[in-house]
Amino acid sequence: MAQYKSKHGYEGLLIVIEGTDGSGKSTQISRLKRWIEDQSYGVMVSEWKTSMFIADAINDAKERNLLNATTFSLLYAADFADRLENIILPALKAGFVVILDRYVYTAYARDKVRGHDIEWLKNLYDYAPEPDMVFYLDVPVEILLKRIIGTTGLDYWESGRDIGLSRDFYKSFQIYQGKCLEEYHKMIDEYGFISLDGTLNEKDIHKKIVNEVKKLLDV
């Protein structure tokens, strides 16, 4: 690393890519990982809801529609806590560059839209280390809708159907994702997000991300 002191006190660097489904996170994470590896740094990627102990329980509960807003929050917090303890912190302590596909900010946005108090949510995740850099891929709802329909299709939970926003799947998606975007936008200044236009060409977005990450690395 360059003469940079991490914000969390560990040897490695913690870089977060935030945004809603369809914002292009996976593409940018893959590109960034390859670029950092090309600079001869060790890299580890961890995605939201991938704990080997908790993720299956979340998926099962979703499939059977067993999640109320509080259970939704607590299960995702448990997933995060397990990944932090067993994957993220060990990698940071070993000096890796850790790239995270979503962070606590996703929980803040989604769970607040589901009715939870933001202070309760912050207390729920108060053990989370501060990232060294957070990129937020900002994409309008209309474009998100087109991207999702053209790829994975509309998801019950990502459309906010569980909180009764609208009987119409498309309308529910627009309302829910619009509310989530409002919460993300509120966090840009508070948490120092580097906000990027997610509608740009993926190569241009990658270039902007690399230019910022270079400030942390000795390259």
Does a structural domain hold residue 4?
A: no
Range of the domain at 188: 13-213
Does a structural domain hold residue 8?
A: no
What pLDDT is recorded for position 213? 97
**Which residue in the block uniquely carries the two structure tokens 């962070």?**
103
Short-list 115, 132, 113, 116, CA closest to 124: 116
- Total structural domains in the chain? 1
**Residue 35 identity:** W
User: Which pLDDT tens digits describe the chain residue by residue (219 residues)?
Assistant: 555 778 999 999 999 999 998 999 999 999 999 999 999 999 999 999 999 889 888 888 888 877 788 998 999 999 999 999 999 999 999 999 999 999 999 999 999 999 999 999 999 999 999 999 999 999 999 999 999 887 877 888 888 888 888 888 889 999 999 999 999 999 999 999 999 999 999 999 999 999 999 999 977
What pLDDT is recorded for position 1? 58
Specify the CATH number for the domain of residue 136. 3.40.50.300
Contact 24, 209 (CB under 8 A): no
Q: What is the pTM of this model?
A: 0.92
